[in-house]
A = this chain, B = another copy of it.
């Protein structure tokens, strides 16, 4: 293999695919980036066997071929190249040679035959939305995914498409985020996409108005953005029946300014987080709500104006779970829907009926 390409193009491409590099894999070749030169194209590909990212750039290919280079060092090296022409060359059993300016360096390679074959021929169900909508969706839902390896199903988000409506759900046993929106799709289907895959897809999106087409086939997800392809395994199995968790009616509704509530809970958390449950108590009265936290370091008692429809109520939550939600929503006011101190609370941004957040309260005495 022998080719000449632009150093900046190469650096950008290597950085993109490196997100799929395996770290300390039992199979060391997965720590490699596969470089292929055919026609007038240089293709870089990394995979950790769950997630695969491939990026194509233009190159002058003098001799076609393939090589797998140690990803970590190649990334570092290419990042430090100045923006000049780089020649990549691999002859017989030798290392990968990099030539630039008057200099020449070599990096060790893996055996190309050991690198897994990736199927890139996808043609199944799909859904489409703009990059901006996709990023907003992931932002509003994925934070509620579990990080617990013991329940792999909850490390992903459910994407359920039915009659042109996408319902996206993430939950971790303490709280749940649900977004509904109209989309274009090939039909009805249900898949669970790993939260990490969703995060990596959003990193590739930098043209808000462009359309993202997500293709799903045989438990794999496939997406192409400009010259970058991302392929990911889906999570197999049946997702939690999230509809069963949602209360059907509420006795109390509270409307409150989001930013005021967020600031107040942040202050209360400083005191509350000294306690492992980060418990913050909400004493809801007719025109205001007291936000109360107490621990050995001190106590916070703040008064926030509200609009209450219902009766007085005292309820407590883990402050972190409230902050997670308040930080991702884009609304001036939010509405809390409550029943009792032990029933789940549902929060919706006012003016955005497609988004709901369910949160279990923490039981407190008195």
Contacts and interface: CB of A to CB of B under 8 A. Distances in A.
Contact of A76 (B82, B264, B270, B288): B270
A5 interface: no
Nearest to A293: B105
A297 interface: yes
Residue from the set A82, A96, A104, A298 with the largest chain B CB neighbour count within 10 Å: A298
A82 B266 CA distance: 11
A298 B95 contact: yes
A303 B103 contact: yes
Contacts of A263: 80, 82
Interface residues of A, number: 32
Interface string A47-77: 0000000000000000000000010010011
Interface in A79-133: 80-82, 95-96, 101-108
A302 interface: yes
Interface in A287-327: 288, 296-303
Contacts of A107: 297-298
Contacts of A73: 270-271, 297-298
A267 interface: yes
Nearest to A75: B270
7 contacts: A80-B263, A101-B303, A102-B302, A103-B300, A106-B300, A108-B296, A108-B298
Interface of A: 70, 73, 76-77, 80-82, 95-96, 101-108, 263-264, 266-267, 270-271, 288, 296-303
